[in-house]
């Protein structure tokens, strides 16, 4: 498994979060917050995708389903891409930033096609989740997820690889 790909930016003086509006516009954050809060509670999947694409500049694939209460990154949602036919479970958070004491980090998040992300998961910046992967509920996705794998836990561990899943299917046949 690969580690996260983030770019680091050093700050001096107060913690990086106190310097947030030096890194991102207040008006961008305010607009994104309103759009995200509307999308979090709307039951209309096509409306959510339209809001994310139009106002947050996220790349959202065809027939992707964001469940209720999903929270994409408020500061840098444009760094998030989600493939076709993917399901993002209830109350999942997708982060593209981390504000730390002496630095902040930004990283693109790529979620593949036909991915299933269970409820209450957190996806950290700089990760790639491969096509056909399954992320179990309440997982902290802190590194890349291989294509076709099933992962879960905090910290995340591989439960089954693509090859193990295919072997089990073959045994049943």
**Residue 1 has what pLDDT?**
45
Domain 7-172: assigned CATH number: 2.160.10.10
DSSP letters for 94-142: E-SEEE-SSEEEE--EEE-TT-EE-TT-EE-TT-EE-TT-EE-TT-EE-
The residue ranges of every structural domain in the chain are 7-172
Q: Is the pLDDT of residue 68 over 50?
A: yes
Distance from C-alpha of 126 to C-alpha of 38, rounded to nearest angstrom: 26
Is the model's pLDDT at 145 over the cut of 90?
yes
Alpha-carbon distance 1 to 162, whole Å? 13
pLDDT of 140 strictly over 70? yes
pLDDT band, very low/low/confident/very high, at 2 (cuts 50, 70, 90): low
Give the pLDDT confidence score for residue 107 in this predicted structure: 98
Q: How many whole angstroms separate alpha carbon 173 and alpha carbon 36?
A: 45
């Amino acid at each position: 498994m690969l580690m996260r790909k983030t770019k680091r930016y050093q700050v001096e003086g107060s913690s990086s979060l106190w310097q947030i509006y030096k890194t991102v516009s207040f008006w961008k954050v305010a607009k994104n917050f309103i759009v995200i809060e509307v999308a979090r509670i709307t039951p209309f999947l096509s409306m959510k995708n339209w809001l994310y694409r139009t106002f947050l500049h996220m790349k959202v694939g065809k027939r992707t389903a964001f469940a209720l209460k999903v929270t994409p990154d408020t500061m840098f949602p444009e760094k998030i891409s989600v493939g076709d036919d993917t399901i993002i479970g209830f109350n999942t958070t997708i982060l593209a930033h981390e504000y730390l004491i002496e630095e902040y980090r930004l990283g693109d998040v790529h979620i593949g096609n036909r991915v299933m992300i269970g409820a209450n998961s957190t996806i950290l910046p700089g990760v790639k989740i491969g096509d056909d992967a399954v992320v179990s509920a309440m997982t902290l996705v802190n590194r890349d997820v291989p294509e076709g794998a099933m992962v879960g836990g905090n910290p995340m561990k591989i439960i089954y690889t693509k090859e193990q899943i295919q072997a089990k299917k073959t045994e049943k046949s």
